[in-house]
Amino acid sequence: MKLSALTFGLTMAGLSHTVLAADAVDEHTFANLKDVVSTHLHLDLDIDFEDKQLEGFVEHTLAWQNSHARTLVLDTRDLEIDKILYQSPQGKWLPAQFTLAPRSGVKGAKLTIQFKHQASKARIYYNSLPQASGLQWLTPVQTASKTHPFMYSQSQAIHARSWIPVQDTPAMRTTYTARIQTPKDVRAVMSADNSEAFIKDGDYWFDMPQAIPPYLIAIGAGNLEYKEMSHQTAIFAEPQILDASVAEFNDTQAMIDKTNAMYGEYAWGRYDLLMLPPSFPFGGMENPRLSFITPTVVAGDKSLVNLIAHELAHSWSGNLVTNATWEDLWLNEGFTSYVENRIMEEVFGRDRAVMEQALDAAGLRAQLKNIPAPDTRLNLKLNGRDPDDAFSKVPYIKGQLFLIYLEEKFGREKFDVFVKGYFDAYAFKSLTTAEFVQYLDKHLLKKHPGIVSLNKAKEWIYQPGLPEDAPNPTSDAFNQVDSHMQAWLSGNKSLDTLPTSNWTVHEWLHFLNNLPRDLGLDKMAALDNAFNLTNSSNAELAFAWYMLAVGNGYQAIYPALDAHLSGIGRRKLIVPLYKALASTDRRDWAYRVYQKARPGYHPLAQGTVDAIFE
């Protein structure tokens, strides 16, 4: 894509130097960023499917911040370090002394490297281990094609250190290049320029010229084919799902164009999608230039494409402007959820956007009842916990509602100027919540005085729960669904008179999520007989129905539920079901299903479900 003046300026900002968040204190890294920063990484790795490991080296280009320092400290987890070399001021490669400490909780193992001189580059030779938390290795039988193995990474939040010795914190940014070698019939792709991956030859080169935080370094490899959707977008996928994915997501270019108009031009060149196997534990991952996507959103009717809008929105919020620590996660996810909904409104209309707001807000309010109050603050305090614990609906939807609140108070025109200015001001930078509060106060609250006070903004950010005047999005379509539902529940209407043939997936979700948890077996059976909900091909609808059925003790779902839990690994669609089942007389059944399904789950999903049954 030809770069506009804005995009060119942003790209040059991303290239020029590594920007550190000014006041970030990241408790989840060992890195000594005040002494030295990695400004560029070069990866040279072989993908060994047989031994389930990456093997090779990473080369760090170093920018020294302290003239007296001679030590580089990196984050690792379950890595074997073979040797370390460094480049002297004269350009010679010399052996470096290093110490790999024992593993320390979630942070992993501290790698301390000592130099005789301030090295310009350091090269760490290493291999990952099969249990690396940031990698999943799938045998051919666990893939759609059944012919080739598959491997993919998930580096967020602090899993990059399980496959790269790196300063694993979002407070810093680095560019990277890579040479990746695979079996000749396996294609590798990365969160980078993938133009060298078009030819499948087992030897691939990648370049990410914009500086990104390490959690956005990503890799995938498998029986991948490629198909363009537009001049700027394409899909990599196994052949079995490629055409369906292209048909499902061919509005991606329209989403990019609309977001460009609202918030400034897309700064990353191409925006491609990698369709992952069903074991992927998330809906999507916003790896720049190549979002990773679950196949569970390929519904055949574009009803779940807000996920694509969400991952695309991260190209501005998260990838371009990044939370400095994982306690500031809401800066990534709250803004992204807000921008996602604006994209959906622009492309699919206001009614659909409001329905999605209402579903999300209802989900948040339900989850708030089950989360400890301190964890319902936007600026979360992890106190040494795994940053994966930060990923609830709070940073996403409470953050989104805060921004909707500001938009409603100041008006969309003024608020759009603020958001675009925020993205411009912090492009290719990381910031803390405290820095954001200062920016908000100066550029919105004081610029338009007497509308929202600083104390009110701080209530949203630092206090638990939702403020009393928090937005509560309502949909006229949902009001109609509620009316029909109450008429059926009271016996005034039969199921065959409900206008369900015109319902969208969103209306169905609202209907299922709001039915009583003590509905009764007769009504459950009537619903299933009328609408065949147990065999729904829409993963979100099936999940909502199974949750309702488990709560009501409806036994007819269990063969289909077995297939659902065994066939996908997306945590959103399996973890609540395991939790619900574990509190019923079906606990033993659920545990047997889990033991069968567990080898196909990602390590992140395994850890979550293991804890349920422990």
Residue 236 — pLDDT band, cuts 50, 70, 90?
A: very high
- Are residues 93 and 173 located together in one domain of the fold? yes
List Cα–Cα distances, 137 to 142, 165, 610, in angstroms: 9, 20, 19
What percentage of the chain reaches a pLDDT higher than 90? 88
Average pLDDT for 300-314: 94
Determine the pLDDT at residue 199. Answer: 86
Q: Are residues 46 and 159 in the same domain?
A: yes
Domain tally, the chain:
3
The H helix count followed by the E strand count for the chain is 19, 21
SS3 state at 421 = helix
pLDDT of 16 > 60? The answer is: no
- Average pLDDT over the chain reads 93
CA nearest neighbour of 570 among 155, 293, 248, 269: 293
Residues 98 and 210 in one domain: yes
Look at residue 603 and give its three-state secondary structure.
helix
Contacts of 458 (CB under 8 A, 6+ apart): 437
Query: Is 0.85 topped by the overall pTM?
Result: yes
**Is 503 a member of any domain?**
no
Flag whether pLDDT at 190 surpasses 60: yes
Decide which of 223, 250, 274 is a domain's last residue. 223
Give 464-470 contacts, CB < 8 A, sequence gap 24+: 464/373, 464/374, 464/375, 464/376, 464/377, 465/368, 465/373, 465/376, 466/364, 466/365, 466/368, 466/398, 466/401, 467/405, 469/405, 470/401, 470/405
Can you say how many angstroms the Cα of residue 448 is from the centroid of all Cα atoms in its chain? 34
Q: Which residues are annotated binding-site positions for Zn(2+)?
A: 310, 314, 333
If you search the block for the tokens 């839990």, which residue do you land on? 565
Among the residue ranges 16-20, 83-87, 565-569, the one predicted with the least confidence is 16-20
Structure token digits, residue 562: 């077995």
Position 6 scores a pLDDT of 35
Judged against a pLDDT cut of 70, whether residue 19 lies above it is answered with no
What does the alpha-carbon distance between residue 455 and residue 572 come to, in Å, rounded to a whole number? Answer: 34
Q: What is the dihedral of CA 39, 42, 48, 49, to 10 degrees?
A: 60
Report the pLDDT value the prediction gives residue 604, as an integer from 0 to 100: 86
Q: Which of 72-81, 149-158, 275-284, 525-534 is least confident?
A: 275-284
DSSP string, 324-349: SSGGGHHHHHHHHHHHHHHHHHHHH-
The more confident residue out of 109 and 141 is: 109
| Whether 71 and 186 share a structural domain | yes
Rounded CA separation 12/428 (Å): 10
- CATH number (domain holding residue 435): 1.10.390.10
Q: What CATH number is attached to the domain comprising 597? A: 1.25.40.320
- Whether residue 202 is contained in a domain is answered as yes
Classify the phi-psi angles of 373: left when phi > 0, otherwise alpha if psi is within -120 to 50, otherwise beta: alpha
* Alpha-carbon 467 to chain mean position: 27
Cα within 13 Å of Cα(48), Cβ side:
14
Residue 10 has what pLDDT?
39
Contacts of 281 (CB under 8 A, 6+ apart): 154, 569, 570, 571, 601, 602, 604, 605
Q: Quick check: 28 pLDDT over 60? A: yes
| Tokens encoding 243 | 């055409």
Q: In sequence order, what are the beta bridge partners of 370?
A: none
261-289 residue pLDDT tens: 999 999 999 999 999 998 888 889 999 99
Handedness of CA 106, 18, 204, 267 (dihedral sign): positive
Q: Which residues touch 565 (CB under 8 Å, ≥6 apart)?
A: 574, 577, 578, 590, 593, 594, 597
State residue 15's pLDDT score. Answer: 43
Domain boundary among 400, 435, 462: 462
| 215 part of the active site | no
Q: Has residue 353 been placed in a domain?
A: yes
Amino acid at 524: M
The domain containing residue 444 runs over which residues? 316-462
Same domain, 456 and 549: no
Longest dimension (CA), the chain: 87
Q: Residue 79 corresponds to which tokens in the numbers above?
A: 């890595």
Active-site residue (options: 204, 215, 338, 396) = 396
Mean pLDDT of 502-528: 94
Q: Is residue 353 within 8 Å of 258, Cβ to Cβ?
A: no
Q: Binding site residues, as ranges? A: 154-156, 281-286, 310, 314, 333, 570-572
Q: Is 415 a residue whose pLDDT tops 50? A: yes
- Ramachandran area for residue 105 (φ above 0: left; ψ -120 to 50: alpha; else beta): left
- pLDDT, one tens digit per residue, over 208-233 is 999 999 999 999 999 999 999 999 99
Q: Where does 93-251 have alpha helices with state H?
A: 239-248
Identify whether residues 19 and 146 lie together within a single domain.
Answer: yes
Query: 344 lies in a domain?
Result: yes
Q: Using the Cα atoms of residue 384, residue 152, residue 343 and residue 214 in order, give the sign of their dihedral.
A: positive
Q: Is 152 a catalytic residue?
A: no
Flag whether 483 is in a domain.
no
CA distances from 153 to 59, 184, 208 (A): 19, 20, 17
Q: Is the pLDDT of residue 7 over 50?
A: no
Give the per-residue pLDDT at 513.
94
**Nearest alpha-carbon partner for 320 in 396, 272, 263:** 263
Range in 23-37, 70-84, 412-426, 454-468 the model is least confident about: 23-37
Q: Are residues 78 and 159 in the same domain?
A: yes
The predicted model gives 437-459 an average pLDDT of 98
Q: How far is the C-alpha of 319 from the C-alpha of 512, rounded, in Å?
A: 35
Local structure of residue 520 (DSSP, 8 states): -
SS (H, E, C) 357-388: HHHHHHHHHHHHCCCCHHHHCCCCCCCCCCHH
As given in the structure block, the two tokens for residue 57 are 């080296």
* Predicted pLDDT of residue 603: 87
Mean pLDDT, residues 357-379 taken together: 94
Note the pLDDT of residue 21.
57
**Domain match, 176 and 42 both:** yes
| pLDDT value of position 517 | 86
Cβ atoms of 193 and 225 within 8 Å: the answer is no
Query: Of 59, 311, 346, 435, which residue is the catalytic one?
Result: 311
- Strand bridging mode 174-181 / 203-212: antiparallel
Q: pLDDT confidence of 348, banded at 50, 70, 90?
A: very high
Instruction: Looking at the structure, tell me whether residues 363 and 444 fall in a common domain.
Output: yes
**Which residue numbers belong to the known binding site for a peptide?**
154-156, 281-286, 570-572
Position 122 scores a pLDDT of 97
Residue of 151, 171, 174 whose CA lies nearest to 163: 151
- Same domain flag for 424 and 542: no
* Structure tokens, 143: 């893939």
| Residue 498, in any domain of the structure | no
Portion of the chain with pLDDT greater than 70, in percent: 96
Q: Please report whether residue 373 resides in a domain.
A: yes
Does residue 347 fall inside a structural domain? yes
pLDDT at 8: 34
pLDDT > 50? residue 118: yes
* Domain identity same for 441 and 337: yes
3 state DSSP class of 403: helix
Assess contact for 106 and 604: CB atoms under 8 A: no
Q: Which two tokens stand for residue 348?
A: 């699919």
Q: Could you give the 3-state DSSP secondary structure of residue 59?
A: strand
Average pLDDT value for residue range 505-513: 95
Tokens representing 404? 């909707």
Verify that 557 and 413 share a domain, yes or no.
Answer: no
Examine the fold and report which residue of 443, 462, 481 is the final residue of a domain before the chain moves on.
462
